[in-house]
Amino acid sequence: MKTILDISILINFLCFGIVYGKNYNVLNFDAKGDGQTDDSEAFLQAWTAACGGDGDIKTLLIPSGKTFLLQPTVFQGPCKSSSIKVQLDGTIVAPSDKFAWSDPISRMWIKFSTVSGLIIVGSGTIDSRGSSFWELNLKASQRPTALHISKCDNLRINGITSIDSPKNHISIKTCNTVAISNINLFAPETSPNTDGIDISDSTNINIFDSTIQTGDDCIAINSGSSNINITGINCGPGHGISVGSLGAGGAEAKVSDVQVTHCTFNQTTNGARIKTWLGGQGYARNISFTDITLVNTKNPIIIDQHYIDKGRLTEESAVAISNVKFVDFRGTSSNKNAITLKCSETTHCVDVVMDGIDITMANGGKPKVNCQYVDGESSDTDLMRDCFKNNTSS
């Protein structure tokens, strides 16, 4: 099959001159762009040509003014060139509903794997048409991620829009050195598990200046991740920016060096959140949330170490949380219990700093703080000082 595909590409190149310089336009590989014809094979032919080209950066062009229907598709590396750019200016759509998918149990719709120097840029849109999956009330494991990127070091994503993913919009797994900026991720507030960006087993991740409005976490930072910088995110609706969940099923989890700054949580369920399962192991440390604006946020600050996994009711171990800072939070909360620090009796949350916390109730009044097993300090809030002094139980 691969030999036939390669011969087809060569014939097109020789007869029709479809490759102009370093650009590979999917229309020149017989993509129709009418939103009805399956263009998956044309995209793969264009990818094979671009990925197989030697030399400097090659560009896979998805032109504006066209709508391309794709079935679940894997864009596989490694590639010969030093970098591959996917210029997404048109619209990519998934099949109209779950039953029209060629692989209805696929866990990913569009996947890039083992492509060093991958660049995904443009003004285009990825429309996953996820509503049919939500309406069937399928488990998260039975719904696909819109854009899954694994083992792609030196990754850059800029400018694109993703709407209505069946599950999370973008998954970053086992990647090193990533920059994501000026993207838009949208799904209804009621859509289940539609995280904006999920990060796992990855390092040196920078996400900035983007808008994320979904039915779950705007950004979720999972185990194996370190040196994560998030700034300038407009989050909401959604479940905030979360570290975790960590330690499900007694697993060992490791997350460190996370900085979240200059973000806005607009009518989100949560704001800054750290969540771990009972019985987990490992650590979450060196985490800071600073310069945060709140607009009617239900739980502006929350640490929850009391997830219960598969009936586990005893706390034999816990993910150790340490060196966590919540600094310069301002705005309103819709919940009287605006701050919850519900930590593990086994490990406590250690070296927690709360400074510059200026949260008021959306309808007036002063919110409450609930603490449990927290060791920390606060220089400017009487309520927080009392919390740190008297938090062995709540």
Residue 258 has pLDDT above 80, yes or no: yes
User: With bands split at pLDDT 50, 70 and 90, how would you rate the model's confidence at 1?
Assistant: very low
User: With bands split at pLDDT 50, 70 and 90, how would you rate the model's confidence at 53?
Assistant: confident
Q: In the structure encoding, which two tokens stand for residue 186, read together?
A: 């949208």
How would DSSP label each residue in 243-257? EEEE-GGG-EEEEEE
Please state, in angstroms and rounded to a whole number, the distance separating the CA atoms of residues 124 and 38: 18
CATH of 20-216, one of 3.20.20.70, 3.40.50.150, 3.30.70.360, 2.160.20.10: 2.160.20.10
Question: For position 4, what pLDDT does the model report?
Answer: 38
Residue 316 has pLDDT above 80, yes or no: no
Question: For position 373, what pLDDT does the model report?
Answer: 93
User: With bands split at pLDDT 50, 70 and 90, how would you rate the model's confidence at 382?
Assistant: low
Same fold, 20-216 and 225-393: yes
Q: Which of 170-174, 276-280, 361-365 has the lowest mean pLDDT?
A: 361-365
Q: Which residue has the higher pLDDT, 52 or 362?
A: 52
Please state, in angstroms and rounded to a whole number, the distance separating the CA atoms of residues 144 and 389: 46
pLDDT, tens digit, 9 for 90 and up, residues 115-140: 999 999 999 999 999 999 999 888 88
Residue 312 has pLDDT above 60, yes or no: no
- At residue 352, what is the residue type? V
Q: In the structure encoding, which two tokens stand for residue 97, read together?
A: 């509903």
Q: Is 348 a catalytic residue?
A: no
Q: Which fold has domain 225-393?
A: Pectate Lyase C-like (2.160.20)
Q: Structural domain boundaries of the chain?
A: 20-216, 225-393
Q: What is the DSSP letter of 4?
A: H
Residue 14 has pLDDT above 50, yes or no: no
Q: What's the mean pLDDT in 312-331?
A: 87
Q: What's the mean pLDDT in 76-92?
A: 96
Q: Which of 54-68, 98-112, 233-247, 329-343 has the lowest mean pLDDT?
A: 98-112
Upper half-sphere CA count for residue 153 (Cβ side, 13 Å): 4
Catalytic residue among 148, 169, 239, 348: 239
Which element (helix H / strand E) includes 10?
Answer: helix 2-16
Q: Which of 6-20, 48-62, 321-335, 373-387 has the lowest mean pLDDT?
A: 6-20
Question: What does the mean pLDDT of the chain come to?
Answer: 90
